[in-house]
Amino acid sequence: MTEAEVFNAIRKGLEYWTLINLTDLSIILSFIALLMLVGRHYLSELEGHLNLRVTLEVWRLVTDLGVDLSLLIAVGIGFLIINPDIFADIKVALPFFPAATLLLSAALVLRVFHGGRRKGAASTLAMVLITAGALVHAIGYTFVMEAAPAGWLADHPSTFWTTLRSWRSNENPELSMTVFWIFGPLLYGVLIWAVTSGIRRLSHTTQAKE
């Protein structure tokens, strides 16, 4: 191999390693957000063991913003990953990863701009969306991204596992492009929804101060 070929191989390997780890991180963060919501009562009980005021305030800040920060990073990674070129290189579960990212992004907008952090319909809907997003991630990761290995299938042919493996983005360019054209516009639609919601919130805040 020439020096240029070695360099390109190393660069490609690092790119793949980074992207696949970012994908896994996004999936993990969806579960962290869900667990923090489900365990909110438990986290609140722990406040009783914190005596210093500063420590108590930091704890409340972490528990309040932890869910939103986890969602923000997970969704941000989704926007980075969901494009045709990256789909061609790494094994993303289709259409599970894009669908989960869409659900989590909608939940984030509800929580940040539409009262989803307070008790009410928006909070319930956000909780349902986060639960659904984490569940979709779990199914896609377990049954598509980490489906039965090729070595095992060579000795134990299975239409079920072979079909699921074919839903990996890097093994099915046709499905990758179809999924991109469905979920890509939807994700950018949620982004536009978030921006317009933020502008309205800013406008209302400005009017209230006047």
Q: What is the mean pLDDT of the chain?
A: 88
pTM above 0.75, yes or no: yes
pLDDT digits (tens, 9 = 90+) for 153-203: 988 999 999 999 999 999 999 999 999 999 999 999 999 999 999 998 887
Cα distance between residue 50 and residue 45, in whole Å = 10
Query: What is 17-57 written as a DSSP string?
Result: HHHHHHHHHHHHHHHHHHHHHHTHHHHHHHGGG--SHHHHH
The most distant pair of C-alpha atoms in the chain lies apart, rounded to whole Å, by 73
Cα distance between residue 111 and residue 124, in whole Å = 10
Helical (H) or strand (E) element with 129: helix 121-140
